[in-house]
Chains A and B, each alone.
Chain A
Amino acid sequence: MKLFLRTLALLCLLCAFAGCGRKEAAAPGAATPIRIGEFSSLTGREAGLGQYTHMGVLLALEELDAAGGLLGRPVEVIAEDTQSKAGESVTATRKLVSRDHVIALIGEGASGRCLEGAPIAQAGRVPLVTPSATNPKVTEIGDYIFRVCFTDPFQGTVMAKFARDSLKARRVALLVDVGASYSVGLAEFFKERFKADGGEIVAEQKFAGGDKDFRAQLTAIKAANPDAIFAPCYYGEAGLILFQARQLGITLPILGGDGYEAPELIEVAGAAAEGAYFPVHFSLESTDTRSRDFVQKFTARFQKPPTGVSALGYDALMLVADAIRRAGTTDGAAIRDALAATHEFSGVTGRITIDSARNAHKPASIIRVRDGRFQFVETVAP
């Protein structure tokens, strides 16, 4: 009984602790703040993605507040963690929509989890802008779902075009993470375009997210004698793939998707990362003044350079802010209409125009890893 009471006391303490946090979050301001919800993978397997996005959103929020907020009201971002776990996004978005009454949502850079949360935003008539969910199905969910990044078909097509035209590759091997919708989607669109251009897919190897050893697949690929390897996946696996490929003596160019873009790629693969190519939404070497400005501010604020998703997170919040300003109200339908009418919005990732399918139209930059850093190669326009 004593033990039970002790446990109970401990639980009460924890609950009280949790209660404190709640009050802190809802600090009363002069005017009621405009609440924008963010749900991203702040912990778990894709924490790098979520945290870099979140930093971009934070920077945008600080700039908005410094400029006096929106419509004369301060702006508040309520961030929820999805733990990189299936099933969590639903609860997180339901909380943001029904409990916090957010007027817009920014969220989940990973397509799988965005597909989970988006129907709730759609049903609640809350406009949602995803920073980096590239799967085409996401915006097909409904007319309240937007994105500021390019899509998987675009990425796959661009890389196929790049492999064929710039790398002069005729035979390509695929290495696909069958556990990630992102990887499967990219591979599909790459294959379609590459074959249409007269290329040949000589091998198609599979792995599951979280795998650490790719030597078996890479050996099979080596045996097929391709000109290049297309291995769309996130940076964690990509680093290991690059490292093990070079160990096996494979010196071919290895192509990926925007998931490659993280400093961890070079940390994991080291010198083996040389000769990796991938498309990015945003290049640190961009000469555009807005982009340069963003890189400077971000580095000053967080003591590290931004990644593509940081820039997309920043653009996502700025795009929403722009729509709220143009709508002149916090009404969901009005903001949706304003978002849909976005034309040549000058973001840090380029000029964004929202098309009729609610996707962003903008160019992609191809990056090559050289001398341990991400080097800009060329721009491919849609």
Chain B
Amino acid sequence: MPPKSQLWLLATLVVAGIVSAFSGRIDPYFLDVAMGVGIAVTLAASLNLINGFTGQFSLGHAGFMAVGAYSSAVITTNFGPKLLPLVGGQVWILFPIALVVGGLLAALAGLAVGAPSLRLKGDYLAIVTLGFGEIIKVIFQNVDAVGGARGLVGIPNYTNLFWTFGVAAVTVYVVWALLNSTYGRGFLAVADDEVAAEAMGLNPTRYKITAFVVGSFFAGVAGGLYAHLKGYLNPGGFDFNKSIEIVVMVILGGMGRHVGVILAAILLTVVQEPLRQLGDWRMILYSLLLIVLMITRPQGLFVWPLWKKKNA
């Protein structure tokens, strides 16, 4: 009998697989929003590991997402016709490979950015990651091989409900399992007090880099899902605002809460849709909603006394 958490993961994957099989009967608009939710959960949960649990402040999540999005899109779009016969023409084999490669490249970017900058603390890291996000955007804008500013067109629509929710479930599970392992307690220790953690024989920089690399990996995978959902990539879509959107999800959900952050990611993605009816007022109301929520629930929207911090 595997542990309960693994049963949860398995159950989610099975449900996602079954629902996905019937997705042909679901309204495409609803599907689009639902898959957007899955991607948002993946992004928020992975950023939560960095910003919430390890107590670092990264503002470059959209940059890692862009790395994953572009690299997986290049694999399926440019090399797809050659690679597909190698895996017997099966998209369900090629697509996860593209996603994982995208994730790995994003993780590599995470390592490259994190290794030197995670020796810094607090605001400095925020500024470095902010700069990284902008650099990535500008690089993609200037590389003609991926469409440059015009954007990358003709990406196959491989993303479906199974992949988005499967990846979201795996991300949440990995973050959860990592933090509840003996090794993972170190992340919380680093977040609480770096000096004390160091005195206990932990290497804070190493923990911070690990969190950063794992977080970037999942951001990259989420980027791959995004690319194959929208079918079109534009560097402008991975700007500072996108990073902020993800940070808002984490803060609104309550930094370092598993369930809260997932709920916030769902809420912030879904709430934009009914607001569509309001036309010009939509963005004003959305911003107003954020302000009101931050004033009334500064500790996070989905944190209430029933779930005490670190009650596990």
Contacts and interface: CB of A to CB of B under 8 A. Distances in A.
Interface in A174-190: 177-181, 183-185
A79 B280 CA distance: 10
Interface stretch (A3-11, A247-255, A338-346): A3-11
Contact of A184 (B150, B231, B273, B301): B150
B173 interface: no
A300 interface: no
Contact of B277 (A6, A21, A43): A21
Nearest to B148: A184
Contacts of A6: 296
Contacts of A180: 149
Interface-central residue, B236, B271, B278, B297, by most chain A CB under 10 Å: B236
A6 B295 CA distance: 12
A303 to B, nearest CB: 18
Interface in B260-312: 271, 273-280, 282-283, 285, 289, 292-293, 296-297, 301, 304-305
A112 B150 contact: yes
B255 to A, nearest CB: 17
A207 B151 CA distance: 17
Interface string A104-125: 0000000110011001000010
B54 interface: no
A83 interface: yes
A85 B30 CA distance: 20
Contact of B153 (A10, A21, A91, A137): A137
B36 interface: yes
Nearest to B27: A98
A81 B282 contact: yes
A116 B276 contact: no
Most buried by A among B141, B241, B275: B141
Contact of A115 (B27, B28, B151): B151
A90 interface: yes
Interface in B208-239: 226, 229-232, 234-237
Interface string B117-156: 0000000000000000000001001100000111101000
A209 to B, nearest CB: 8
B230 A116 contact: yes
A15 B274 CA distance: 7
B297 A3 contact: yes
A91 B36 contact: yes
Nearest to B283: A43
Interface in A275-291: none
B33 interface: yes
A168 interface: no
B268 to A, nearest CB: 12
A178 B32 contact: no
Contact of B28 (A14, A42, A98, A135): A98
B30 to A, nearest CB: 8
A22 interface: yes
Given A19-B274, A86-B237, A208-B141, A112 B151 contact: yes
Contacts of B285: 14
A99 interface: yes
Contacts of B230: 87, 90, 116
Contacts of B229: 90
Contacts, number: 125
A185 B147 CA distance: 11
Nearest to B289: A14
Interface in A1-56: 1, 3-4, 6-7, 10, 14-15, 18-19, 21-22, 24-25, 42-43
B292 A10 contact: yes
B interface bracket (residues with beta carbon within 8 Å of A): 35 or more
Nearest to A80: B276
B146 to A, nearest CB: 13
Contact of A185 (B150, B237, B271): B150
Interface string A78-98: 011101011100110011011
Contacts of B234: 86-87, 112, 115-116
Nearest to A5: B304
Interface string A163-178: 0000000000000011
Contacts of A18: 274-275, 277-278
Contacts of B237: 85-87
Given A43-B280, A79-B279, A90-B231, A181 B150 contact: yes
Interface in B162-218: none
Contacts of A179: 138, 141, 149, 235-236
B29 interface: yes
B28 A97 contact: yes
Nearest to A15: B274
B244 to A, nearest CB: 13
B149 A99 contact: no
Contacts of A178: 141-142, 148-149
Nearest to A92: B276
Residue among A1, A124, A181 with most chain B CB within 10 A: A181
Given A83-B283, A90-B232, A112-B234, A95 B276 contact: yes
Contacts of B142: 178
Contacts of B236: 85-86, 112, 179, 209
27 contacts: A10-B296, A19-B274, A21-B278, A22-B274, A43-B282, A43-B283, A80-B276, A86-B234, A86-B236, A90-B229, A90-B231, A94-B28, A95-B273, A99-B29, A112-B236, A115-B153, A116-B151, A124-B28, A177-B149, A178-B141, A179-B141, A179-B236, A181-B150, A181-B151, A184-B148, A184-B149, A208-B138
